[in-house]
């Protein structure tokens, strides 16, 4: 696809890598590509970062027809830039689009555009191990009008943010609150898609958990309010009796890229992995018997987030003495090692820009 480059690249960038935070500062480049019924997805442009100009009646503001992705670019010691399993993001973006009645971008085009964007934005990829360029591609419905139907026109945008750890606590354990009233998804809803609506419905419970002193919400299934699905904006894993459990991706759970990498790595290490239902009652019983060795969340932004405490119906359970577990740390080291090019990529997960 022919890409138009509108501005010269700013090669001199000075980042304060001690205090990047997450998603607070943005590279001065963005990519845009429009969809029209006549031309399909066409004429991508990489230009200077700028605000979007949209009418107040633009459909995305009212009916939330939009999707997004999250992936990172990592600077290696030899100055090359790594992307991690970008084919997975391309596929999930495609699947999210289909679910939200948005014309999907072919996976090969998505990969080509992200690589071209990262190449032009490489000056913003941080140098310090642990810091990376968080890339946020998204599509919004751009028709003007208040009728409820699929938009005819769309815009694909890519922005990026030089970022540090997602959680201030880094790899230190967080505390989670089991939400047994509000739900994040249910069969038939787009729980597997990365659409803003899934995050919007989670905010209230997140705020309530914070008011009670917890960092994150643990979501149960939307029908019986029994089976564990996700934590906050991450997948969740339970290391019980040297076996690893996580909820299956059967439509209501986000198919995380880090999730799938953890499963592959653990299987290679000889750890049995079960993608199956675990009810909150079973978990409580196992916690009471002291059988739960570790619990951790996983996601692109946070990588691994150990869970040190769980609260369910006015009772609190401490996991692994509120310490980062051996498996959580080993997985964090292995995944980040591959991402930053410090450990050999035997899986073919890395593509270089
Ligand atoms: C990610 O891990 O990339 C996410 O999408 C989480 C996010 C909503 C910050």
Q: Is 160 in the pocket of ligand 1 (CB under 6 A)?
A: no
Pair 218, 330 in one domain:
yes
Pair 256, 287 in one domain:
yes
In a 10 Å sphere around its CB, with 0-12 CB exposed, 13-18 middle and 19+ buried, how is residue 224 labelled? exposed
Q: Is 183 in the pocket of ligand 1 (CB under 6 A)?
A: no
- From the list 161, 119, 106, 46, the residue with the least C-alpha distance to 352 is 119
Residue pLDDT, tens place only, 63-73: 999 999 999 99
pLDDT reading at 148 higher than 90: yes
Pair 106, 195 in one domain:
no
**What would the DSSP string read from start to end of 37-72?**
TTTEEEEEEEEE-------TTBHHHHH--EEE--EE
pTM of the model: 0.96
Arithmetic mean of pLDDT, 203-211: 97
Give the total number of structural domains in the chain: 2
CA of 38 to the centre of ligand 1 (A): 33
pLDDT reading at 307 higher than 80: yes
**Tokens linked to 117:** 């964007």
- From the list 1, 23, 29, the residue with the least C-alpha distance to 70 is 23
The CATH code of the domain that includes 210 is 3.20.10.10
| CB 33, CB 44: distance < 8 Å | yes
Question: d(Cα 104, Cα 99) in Å, to the nearest integer?
Answer: 10
Pair 158, 20 in one domain:
yes
Residue pLDDT, tens place only, 65-98: 999 999 999 999 999 999 999 999 999 999 999 9
Quickly state the pLDDT bin for 166 (edges 50, 70, 90): confident
Question: d(Cα 68, Cα 53) in Å, to the nearest integer?
Answer: 19
> Which of 137, 164, 191 lies at the terminal end of a domain, its last residue?
164
Pair 151, 194 in one domain:
no
> Which of 164, 198, 231 lies at the terminal end of a domain, its last residue?
164
pLDDT reading at 8 higher than 70: no
Q: Is residue 289 part of a domain?
A: yes
Pair 105, 191 in one domain:
no
Domain housing 304: 174-339
| CB 67, CB 102: distance < 8 Å | yes
Residue pLDDT, tens place only, 254-281: 999 999 999 999 999 999 999 999 999 9
Q: Is residue 240 part of a domain?
A: yes
The CATH code of the domain that includes 146 is 3.30.470.10
pLDDT reading at 20 higher than 80: yes
Pair 138, 180 in one domain:
no
Residue to probe by mutation, ligand 1, list 159, 166, 260, most atoms within 8 Å of CB: 166
Pair 271, 247 in one domain:
yes
Of 12-21, 22-31, 155-164, give the lowest mean pLDDT range: 12-21
CA of 153 to the centre of ligand 1 (A): 26
Q: Is residue 346 part of a domain?
A: no
Residue to probe by mutation, ligand 1, list 70, 114, 198, 262, most atoms within 8 Å of CB: 70
Q: Is residue 212 part of a domain?
A: yes
Pair 158, 181 in one domain:
no
Question: d(Cα 351, Cα 119) in Å, to the nearest integer?
Answer: 12
Quickly state the pLDDT bin for 176 (edges 50, 70, 90): very high
Pair 111, 182 in one domain:
no
Pair 159, 30 in one domain:
yes
């Amino acid at each position: 696809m022919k890409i138009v480059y509108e501005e010269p690249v700013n090669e001199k960038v000075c980042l304060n890598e001690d205090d990047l935070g997450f998603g607070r500062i943005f590279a001065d480049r963005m990519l845009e590509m429009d969809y029209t019924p006549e031309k399909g997805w066409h004429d991508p442009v990489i230009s200077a970062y700028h605000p979007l100009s949209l009418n107040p009646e633009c459909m995305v503001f009212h009916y939330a027809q939009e999707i997004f992705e999250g992936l990172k670019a990592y600077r290696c010691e030899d100055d090359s830039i790594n992307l991690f399993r970008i084919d997975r993001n391309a596929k999930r973006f495609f699947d999210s689009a289909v679910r939200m009645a948005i014309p999907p971008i072919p996976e090969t085009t998505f990969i080509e555009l992200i690589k071209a964007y990262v190449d032009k934005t490489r000056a913003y990829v941080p140098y310090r191990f642990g810091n990376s360029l968080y890339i946020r591609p998204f599509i919004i419905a751009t028709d003007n009008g208040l009728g409820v139907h699929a938009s005819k026109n769309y815009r694909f945008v890519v922005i990026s943010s030089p970022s540090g750890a997602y959680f201030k606590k880094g790899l230190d354990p967080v505390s989670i609150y089991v939400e047994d009233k509000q739900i994040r998804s249910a069969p038939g809803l787009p729980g597997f898609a990365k659409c803003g609506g899934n995050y919007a419905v989670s905010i209230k419970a997140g705020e309530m958990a914070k008011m009670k002193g917890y960092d994150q919400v643990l979501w149960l299934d939307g029908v019986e309010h029994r089976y564990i699905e996700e934590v906050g904006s991450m997948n969740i894993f339970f290391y019980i009796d040297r076996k690893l459990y996580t909820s299956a991706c059967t439509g209501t759970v986000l198919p995380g890229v880090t999730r799938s990498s953890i499963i592959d790595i653990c299987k290679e290490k000889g750890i049995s992995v079960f993608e199956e239902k675990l009810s909150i009652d079973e978990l409580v019983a196992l916690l009471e018997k002291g059988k739960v060795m570790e619990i951790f969340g996983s996601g692109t932004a946070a990588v691994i987030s150990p869970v040190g405490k769980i609260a369910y119906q006015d009772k609190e359970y401490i996991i692994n003495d509120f310490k980062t577990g051996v498996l959580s740390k080993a997985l964090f080291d292995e995944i980040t090692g591959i991402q930053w090019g410090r450990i050999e990529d035997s899986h073919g997960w890395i593509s270089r820009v």
